[in-house]
Amino acid sequence: MLVLGLETSCDETGVALYDSERGLLADALFSQIDLHRAYGGVVPELASRDHVKRMLPLIREVLSEAQCTAKQIDAIAYTAGPGLVGALLVGASCAQALAFAWDIPALGVHHMEGHLLAPMLEEQPPQFPFVALLVSGGHTQLVRVDGIGRYQLLGESLDDAAGEAFDKTAKMLGLVYPGGPEIARLAEHGQPNRFVFPRPMTTRPGLEFSFSGLKTFALNTWQQEQKGDASDEQTRRDICLAFQQAVVDTLTIKCRRALKLTGLKNLVIAGGVSANTALRQGLEKMLGEFNGQVFYARPRFCTDNGAMIAYAGCQRLLAGQHDGPAIGVQARWPMEQLLPL
């Protein structure tokens, strides 16, 4: 089955062609980062308008890269939520219009299920069951995964998502959007142990997270140290390192707890923050103690992309699922509501 995948939940237009027999044939992405950078974050209206402009050229691009014609496509998978409603509607209406014109089925895919299954596109995919740490700009969740659609939420953030904490902290430090990669870059030249940030909610039991206090801690540290000198580059780097280390340690402590609780040995990390090298290293070290393994996607497939939507959609379409002709998207959509395969 050849599936066209469309992702438009936020600030990336992602398009891909995935074939159930041959694997990923092509994927193309347009990132709107430059468009939103001047505003320090995503402007929903601008995002929707840009998806409209990019979608058809990207579809043509993947068809040409895969040397396929539109007639060969068997089904269309698109992100139906969670995300920005206007942005989601662009992908949904485009998918439904093309599905109608080509007389093929369309299926709305859950964005976080896409992220969760992205490591399946790699050469050594994880086997079910596993624990998944989903860390993106909008979500921080620990999930027990027994199969596609068989998700049990173990814990999540009570306030900011991990990626959101990176982005907000970066903004306060005067860094550009998106903050995650910027903080990671500056942290490489940070001096260890100059600042020590708290590891929120790690001293009490449970698998919940809270990251909103870290940005305040970063702001207070920055204001105290800076003393009116915004050009103190080394202090900025040292704060980035201390902040990143606090996030990595906190996530690692909670992942260890989730593995102990479930008795599982394999951990999947997915979503934009799973591209973070320090997080990967921290988790790999911890998994070493467990004799377990950590799985993640290549960096391009950690952040938003069309390939993960094409892959996740393909699994569900193969099982016979598809939507009716109505165009419907959901800003909020708990993953546990998904049907098991």
Binding region for ligand KG4 (CB under 6 A): 10, 115, 136-138, 163, 166-167, 178-181, 184, 271-273, 275-276, 303-304
Does residue 113 touch Zn ion according to CB under 5 A?
no
Measured from the CB atom, is 14 or 105 closer to Zn ion?
A: 14
Do you know the residue count of the chain? 341
Decide which of Zn ion, ligand KG4, none touches 119; Cβ closer than 5 to 8 Å per partner kind: none
Q: Is 136 in the site for Zn ion (CB under 5 A)?
A: yes
Q: Which does 179 bind (CB under 5 to 8 A by kind): ligand KG4, Zn ion, none?
A: ligand KG4
* CA atoms of 76 and 6, how far apart (whole Å): 8
Q: By the 8 A CB rule, do 133 and 255 touch?
A: yes
- Residue among 131 and 240 whose Cβ is closer to ligand KG4: 240
C-beta separation of 304 from 83 below 8 A: no
Least CB distance to ligand KG4 at residue 325 (A): 27
Q: Which does 91 bind (CB under 5 to 8 A by kind): ligand KG4, Zn ion, none?
A: none
The reply to whether 304 sits near Zn ion by the rule CB under 5 A is yes
Q: CB-wise, 264 or 295, nearer to ligand KG4?
A: 295
User: Choosing among Zn ion, ligand KG4, none, which partner's interface includes residue 50 (Cβ < 5 to 8 Å by kind)?
Assistant: none
Q: What CA–CA distance (Å, rounded) separates 18 from 2?
A: 6
Residue 84 interacts with, from Zn ion, ligand KG4, none (CB under 5-8 Å by kind): none
276 binds, among Zn ion, ligand KG4, none (CB under 5 to 8 A by kind): ligand KG4
Which of Zn ion, ligand KG4, none does residue 273 bind (CB under 5 to 8 Å by kind)? ligand KG4
CA dist 270 and 105 (Å) reads 28
Tell me which of Zn ion, ligand KG4, none is bound by residue 178, counting a contact when its beta carbon lies within the kind-specific cut-off of 5 to 8 angstroms.
Answer: ligand KG4
Q: Distance from CA of residue 220 to its chain's centroid?
A: 29
Judge whether 112 and 30 are in contact, CB under 8 Å: no
CB of 180 to ligand KG4, least distance (A): 2
Contact between 160 and 215 (Cβ < 8 Å): yes
- Beta strands at 106-110 and 75-81: parallel, antiparallel or unpaired: parallel
Nearer to Zn ion, 139 or 199 (CB): 139
Q: Which of 306, 254, 252 is nearest to 276 (CA)?
A: 252
Complex with ligand KG4: residue 12 or 323, whichever CB lies closer: 12
Give the nearer residue to Zn ion in terms of CB position, either 174 or 299. 299
Least separation, in Å, of the C-beta of 112 and ligand KG4?
8
73 vs 247 by CB, closer to Zn ion: 247
Helix (H) or strand (E) holding 212: helix 212-226
CB 109 within 8 A of CB 79: yes
CA distances (Å), 132 to each of 37, 99, 174, 255, 283, in order? Answer: 30, 32, 32, 9, 12
Distance of CA 189 to the CA centre of its chain: 26
Pairwise CA distance, residues 111 & 95, whole Å: 15
Count the alpha carbons within 13 Å of 199 in the hemisphere toward its beta carbon.
12
Least Cβ distance, residue 167 to ligand KG4 (angstroms)? 5
Number of residues that bind Zn ion (CB under 5 A): 2
Backbone angles phi and psi of 254, in degrees to 5: -70, -35
Q: Which of residues 54-73 bind Zn ion (CB under 5 A)?
A: none
- The CB-of-306 to Zn ion minimum distance in angstroms stands at 12
Q: What minimum distance in Å lies between the beta carbon of 233 and Zn ion?
A: 31
Q: With binding defined as CB under 5 A, does residue 12 bind Zn ion?
A: no
Which of Zn ion, ligand KG4, none does residue 166 bind (CB under 5 to 8 Å by kind)? ligand KG4
Give per-residue burial for 7-37: e unless 16+ CB within 10 Å, then b. bbbbbbbbbbbbbeeeebbbbbbbbbeebbe
Q: Contact positions toward Zn ion, by CB under 5 A?
A: 136, 304
